[in-house]
Structure 1
Amino acid sequence: MTEEDIKLKYITPAIQKAGWDIMNDVFCEYSFTDGRIIVRGNLTTRGKSKRADYLLFHKKNYPIAIVEAKDNKQEAGAGMQQALDYAEILDVPFAFSSNGDRFIEHDRLTGKERELTLDEFPTREELWKRYVKEADITPEQEQIINEPYYFQLGDKTPRYYQRIAVNRTVEAIANGQNKILLVMATGTGKTYTAFQIIYRLWKAGVKKKVLFLADRNILVDQTIINDFKPFEKVMTKIENRKLDSSYEVYLALYHQLAGDNGSEPFRQFKPDFFDLIIVDEAHRGSARDDSRWRKVLEYFDTKGTTQIALTATPKETKETSNITYFGEPVYTYSLKQGIDDGFLAPYKVMRIGLDKDLQGYRPEKGKRDIHGELIEDREYNQKDFDKKIIIDARTETVAKRITQFLKKTDRFAKTIVFCIDIEHAERMRRALVNENSDLCKENSKYVMRITGDNKEGKAQLDNFIDRGSKYPTIVTTSKLLTTGVDVKTCKLIVLDSNINSMTEFKQIIGRGTRLDVEHGKEYFTIMDFRNVSRLFADPDFDGDPIVIIDVPEGGDMPGYDDGETGGETGGDTGNGGTGTGGEAGNGGDGGDPTRKYRLDDVDVKIIHERVQYYDVEGKLITESLVDYTKKNIQKQYASLDVFLRTWKEEERKEIILEALKEQGVLLDALREYDNLKDLDDFDLILHLAYDQPPLTKAERANNVKKRGYIYGYKDVAREVLEMLLDKYMNEGITEIEGTEVLELSEFHKFGSPMKIVKAFGNKKKYLDAVKKLKDEIYLA
């Protein structure tokens, strides 16, 4: 019997016999990831999703057991390793494996295994009682844990990691923990997770007064109209420092609520007024004077108050410290996990080197800038450009390269250009307008600057975020768009700012990681002009979170350049780049701290450009793409003979090519090389892995015609084979396999697919003819 037979005839009946409701308690073939998006050149494919044979629920959104099935040729425990792997990912306490003869049970709470007959499979109540006993859950705690999620017909349901985050948080609170840290990558639904946590605790009557703190108005407003909408009758936004105690759910900007010393609005409430406080993007509150949120938390830190921190990037400094306020995270869902699961968009990185950046620039003695200022005689490097010295040609070169990329891909792809400061963002906007004057003539909002000092730009932020709005398309910014702004359709992120903060880097990358397949967003590109992407190699990029060391008032963050912490006031709040972040300063030379030299007579050109690729594990490929591909092909097929034999025996070549893709072979990416773009996958493999002289698709098609195979057929059959051969020459072998190709418009002139296969005699004879055609194509 097959595995499916075993499940249908033995395992499912055994689970039903134990009293499980197969319609409500049991999910079969339960897919809990979407499968990683694999980018090959400009094409994307999906890897396999993770799928459990059975997931058994104690109640909705509370899975308690997983069952993996194997066919009867294998031992009953053959599926246990996979069951345990999935159980760990899904946070499920009991794992079972079966071959239809019996069950093997693994209790993850005790670490013990036992063998059961088919009649001994435990009931739902049995498993729950064991879980409650082994986890030492009191009746009062059980009542809180059992409070259901919010759900209305048509609503989204939580993904597996959101469910784990909610359940672990609720359980921690039920166990008396009053400070909780949740780490979830940007774009994974922290606010929706927070809503479900609040709702369950609020409905259970455990938490009646809730405060949700954020650091940007747009984050609060998005939360009110989206995820928190079910609270609309009991919810208010604290504004103008007026606090109304009649509501139950409050949203506020933490720096407004904190106020200034001697004028602190939060003191209008008694310390025990709120029994649940959630801080969104908590990492930002630790930088410089933004630590004002700490005053709020400490004021409301009473016995009955629970405080939860949500963050994507709690680590802000290379100076390691213990987690001092919220404690160890109860759950972490990282950027890497999100990309591996297929819930976040993967990225391509283009590192572009400009000559002045890589070689430095030293003005000739006595050189003056466009304002007649004598330029200090020293060598200026990448960190100085646009901060201490402005070279107009550099800005123009960056704008040209951005425009060139968009013209080659999609000119209406939403793009964010991160600049040094407000002045730089304005110069970049102007340069991009000049490079895209044709589209700016049609609509002046095609390129806009969105910075803290610019009302017109900020007024267009909603349109930039709106998936249905074409304009603005390209925006330049400094700090304003580093966090929280949900731009699902953002396809290009340009880094032209000196970023050393790992937190800021993660937040910027987070602007692109949201998927929007419906609108054609399956991956995004990072165009790096300042070597910021070196931070990908830092082991802390996706490492364990660490709360940063508090900095004294007015002090600098350890390990940072000035103005690069990504704080609320860092660069997007002042005029002309003189905000408190200090980005505009000339600094260190004893001159006017706001002065910048500006030159319009220095040439700048691109001297180095490299596209970086990542393997199926999400790790950067450090060797050449050719060497990497050769190694991965030979890992699958040790010799040329093995590959040729496999290729000939496999009727559907697509199966071989898909298997190679899953192993990380980047054939489509290699077609970006001019000398390889006309080869099909077969010749690419022969040439790269086994050093065989390649034939182009056109050469192979012409060889088939010369040998006369297709001329053995007449009329419609011959014409169809000729069209299939042309289709192979233009698009590749996988496009002509199967009968689906006959449904394409170019074949309509011959009639329906059924009529076409009849021209060959029948469907089998048509498939035989195509198989022989493929054999002819690949004759030596």
Structure 2
Amino acid sequence: MAEKEAKARIKINKLLEDAGWRFFDTDKGKATIKLESSIKMDDLGEDFENSKNGFIDFLLVDENQNPVLVLEAKKESLNPLVGKEQARNYAKSQKVKFVILSNGTLHYLWNIETGNPEQIQVFPTLESIKQYYEFNPDPNKLVSEEVNADYVVLTQLPNYKQIPEFQDEQKKKDLIFNLNLRFLRYYQVEAIQAVQKAVSEGKKRFLLEMATGTGKTLTSAAIIKLFYRTGNARRVLFLVDRLELEEQARKDFTNYLKNDLTTVVYKEKRNDWRKAEIVVTTIQSLMVNNKYKKLFSPTDFDLIISDESHRLLGGGNSRALFEYFLGYKLGLTATPKDYLKHLDTENIEDPRELERRMLLDTYTTFGCESGIPTYRYTLVDGAKDGYLRQPIVVDARTDVTTKLLSEQGYGVMVTVATSEQEDVLEEVKYKQNHFERKFFSDETNRVFCKTFIENGLKDPITGEFGKSLVFAVSQNHAAKLAQLLNEYAHQYFPGKYQSDFAVQVTSNVQNSQQMTVDYSNDKLLGFSNFAKGNEVLESYKTSKARVCVTVGMMTTGWDCPNILNLALMRPIFSPTEFIQIKGRGTRVHTFEHKFKNELGEQETISIDKQTFKLFDFFATCEYFEEKYQYDQVLKLPKNFEQGDDFPIVDDNTLKPKRDGYEYKENDKIATWNEQQVDFTGMKVDRMFFQQFEEKVKTDEELKQLMEAGDVEVATARAKEKYDNKPEEYFDLEKLRRSLKIDRKIGWRELLELIYFGNQIKGKDDLLSDEFEKFISTNNVADINDLQGLRYFFYAYITDPSVREIIDQQDFTELYHNPTFNVEDFNRVPDEMKSKLPYYVKTYVPLNKFLSA
């Protein structure tokens, strides 16, 4: 492969300039980069080949020309850590404590007074280094800090012990509830103490494995207070993976810590986030075009917390972002690694294999390669302690799902060819993962919904159907199920609902995020009037909508403790997803209703949630070898009437539905319009994107969605409204050519270009970005020939023939390969010959590099 990469000096110069350092005096101020007086930059060579020993020391100064940082720059073939003692001596002579070691590709920031060099992806700014000088953490203070159950309450209400109501046991409970005081449970204190112990052992990474509903956010708040109070963190970054979780985290941290710390959502405070001590953001909002490198310096945060870390850090992009920042790293996960017991790690076809990789990477990221987290509190622990509820699992399988779940699958005979003599038949076999994708059955969906409504738990106050979540295969499937549930509600509860018993909550539904909030707050589609006419119960506040039908939303980080029923009307193959879904029902809750009796005295009905039902229509619990005892197994009627969606194996006249719809009537052309394209229309090849941009910018619906951050919904709507529709006939291929992009692009990239100005990168730039992520998340400190490693990385991604040779280990073919030959392969360290392909297959989206 031809060497087109910029050399070390050019790269380092650009890194310095990107971070705001100046080689010359400008109108912004004096130069902040100095060389020895006898050295001229242009004489050094592009790779410092003309410098003595192949490296040079830069002295970086502040606006008053005071030294603040030493940069030791080496040629690319030298490891940046080589000769670091010389850099230390030079730094000491200049009375600075920070050193950057770089060869243009690998970079380290080193505080010579307190620790070891830490890998960075960009150079720090002057402002961030100045703040770092003022920051003098003391781990010993953190380790010795006393943490008790009232650690957070002492921030919420410092004098709580002096309040008279708190001395009265009768009134104490009401006081705690009304003021939302959050005392730590014993296991939360133990988790914090485990972090303290890890710090005492010199560790900077921690992983808390705590079951859904056990208060990971409250535990995080206490840890944030611990780091801030002891002077070991100036600012904290809290990363979430969904937009709706940003605001929820902000509210929680504000409630817990507002008397000491300010919490902001980054997108709402883009210009003054530095005034806050806690910054909350989605990881996705920072990853577009590596935006985080422009917005933040590696030293801006001293504690980075990854909520639901098994999801957040499951890809190379997010891992690179996470590793970008220096400081302590805390991961939170509800998914136990032990959940993947008996996994066939040799069988790549096992649908749990990718999940296993993701979990193992999560544990490795936080220094827990052995699979033992810093602290663990399981669902079983929570249930034993009374903090969580276990479900009643309802294993309900229909005739159809039983066949889909079988090894043989559901077989359908299809006519594939016809002649005068005979028909040629072929059997098509469907499995559970084909349900509502290739195999459709309205009757099965009807049985699911009928069974669910007839057997679901009821609200213990009014007897109304309990608040529930139903998980569907797709958005179309969700729409079908919501309609069926509303039809049955009309039948079973006449006059109580007006097609508002069940509501679809998926990303393509406008305001779906607000729907999740309203459902949690018991006011989705208004308040229930189920008990209307009952003087005691009609004022009971609960949501009018009783069932939310969703696909991927409401699975993680969303709290609604009064959920009584969960229904899996789709198969699930991800243990992480399954345990998160199940966690929506495990939280404890007290159903409570206050009312005045006939004497005008206030009374309270209070009933604790004892359990919840998990309707399992696809043997998901069995699939994951669930340990729960099935308290109830419903046997569904076997002889229900078959509909058109039930092909009979020996009836060759019925064809399996492949696209979800079987049209049986005649068809014809209804209208005809023929128009000659004149010469001006040929300008489309040059002006096509501008036309599209003008159209999209004036689309109020898309504008509102993008401004609200609903990028996924906007993407779906843009594709629906504009993909190859008459008049303009916009499509991705024409738009790509108009933009002169040398790879396939997506609708989301186009919207982010138009609304956010995020440039769509070409193939070369993407490759460079992906390689940076690779070396930032893998230890390459001992590799001398990074250029050779880069060639291997590029070739493996872009050339299918190279991938096939490497994957099949048919290395003799490299002798004839024009892209990547034997000599190139021999430059790659042995460890990387297997590690790099594994990384690419796991983390790099190869479809991005497909040629147009």
Q: How would you bin the TM-score normalised by the shorter chain? A: 0.3 to 0.5
Normalized against structure 1, the TM-score is what? 0.48
TM-score with structure 2 length normalisation?
Answer: 0.44
